[in-house]
Amino acid sequence: MRNQNLKFADLFCGLGGFRLAMEKVCKERDLISDCVFSGDFDSDANKSYEANFGEKSFGDITKIHTNEIPEHDILFAGFPCQAFSICGDGKGFEDTRGTLFFDIARILQAKQPKAFVLENVKQLVSHNEGKTFARILETLENLNYQTHYKILNALDFGLPQKRERVFIVGFREPKNFVWQLKKTPIKPLREVLEKEVAENYFASEKIRENRLRSVENKIIKDELTIWHENKGGNISPLPYSCALRSGASYNYLLVNGERRLTEREMLRLQGFPEDYEIVVGYQAMRKLAGNTVAIPCVEEVLRSVMAALEKPIQNQAIKTKFTVQESLFAQI
């Protein structure tokens, strides 16, 4: 595969996290990556994508015929998670955002890429007593893809953010696929947080005082923390951030209980490079950062995918229609 041009499609592309991961991993392996299609219905996402990659998104995937999508080797899709999220309504396929998975399926069926990588919240696996996820796996298997899945946490890949997501990978031809995941020490918050921020990022004095009273016995002196308030109103000061969420309260995460994360800090918590341009307002960036992928997680998954694509099949007994039922909380 050396010097090979690998074409990929970037569905629900958002800020382009999958693309950045693909470009980095291909460069490591002396491969040329070529994004032949990207799509997202969100105008702020499209503005950010164009500013950083110089290409316009093709827009809403539900309105695009498969004939308009070029042939490609790998398909990426961090499809909308709100239908399955613990913070959403959890309606699954009853929610129109949940049915977007079937747009992925129709593209896989039409284009037959060599491999795919999908990402969603970990609650997808247990949603509706596992029936939703079983239907997804069955659909992928019926398209004759060998499928594997695993829940990964961004904390294991260097990011100071507890973000658990399920990754589903599939291959059109049988492969000896192995999750070759290398743990990375967590980057300390001091390397992520900005030293000086504008006054408008700070919460009101009342909010700060209320939070301080509720966690006085939990604070570690002189340690940088991000205070997380859960749905029950309990506040925990942690040496890392809990998962960025697009629709959460402005105050569910506060640095030292005082201020909100800046746009750049949110991008750093997802592993975006320092030269990534911010071209939308704060509220839009909160939404986009909460919906994007943790780039180091994707990179590790892609290294495993690339290794499988590069190796010939050693065990001819492997069947094309094959699903690996991973332990949901297996340690890396």
**CATH number for the domain harbouring residue 295:** 3.40.50.150
47-67 burial: b if 16+ Cβ within 10 Å, else e:
bbbeebbebebbeebeebeee
Q: Given a cut of 50, is residue 306 above it in pLDDT?
A: yes
Query: What are the start-end ranges of the H helices in 116-223?
Result: 123-126, 131-142, 205-215
Contact 309, 1 (CB under 8 A): yes
Q: Does 108 fall in a domain? A: yes
The tens digit of pLDDT for each residue in 109-146 reads: 999 999 999 999 999 999 888 888 998 999 999 999 99
Torsions phi, psi for 166 (to 5 deg): -95, 130
Whether residue 282 lies inside any domain: the answer is no
The residue range of the domain holding 82 is 5-184+291-324
Which residues fall within 8 angstroms of residue 23, CB to CB, at 6 or more apart? Answer: 33
Range from 27-31, 69-73, 212-216, 272-276 carrying the lowest mean pLDDT: 212-216
Q: Are 131 and 216 members of one domain?
A: no
Pair (171, 115) in one structural domain:
yes
114 and 146 together in one domain: yes
Residues 201 and 239 in one domain: yes
**Residue 314 pLDDT grade (very low, low, confident, very high; cuts 50, 70, 90):** low
- Tell me the catalytic residues: 81
Domain assignment present for 63: yes
pLDDT at residue 2, as a whole number: 56
* pLDDT tens figures, 210-254: 888 888 777 777 789 999 998 888 999 999 999 999 888 889 999
Residues 161, 94 within the same domain? yes
Give pLDDT tens digits for 19-47: 999 999 999 999 999 999 999 999 999 99
Give percent of the chain with pLDDT exceeding 70: 88
Token pair in block for residue 139: 């659909």
Q: Which two tokens stand for residue 94?
A: 């009853």
Q: Which of 17, 108, 105 is nearest to 71 (CA)?
A: 108
In this structure, the answer to whether residues 299 and 174 fall within a common structural domain is: yes
pLDDT of residue 117: 98
Q: What is the pTM of this model?
A: 0.89
Closest among 27, 35, 14, 31 to 81, alpha carbons compared: 14
Query: How far is it, in rounded angstroms, from Cα 51 to Cα 277?
Result: 7
Domain count, the chain: 2
Q: Are residues 134 and 239 in the same domain?
A: no
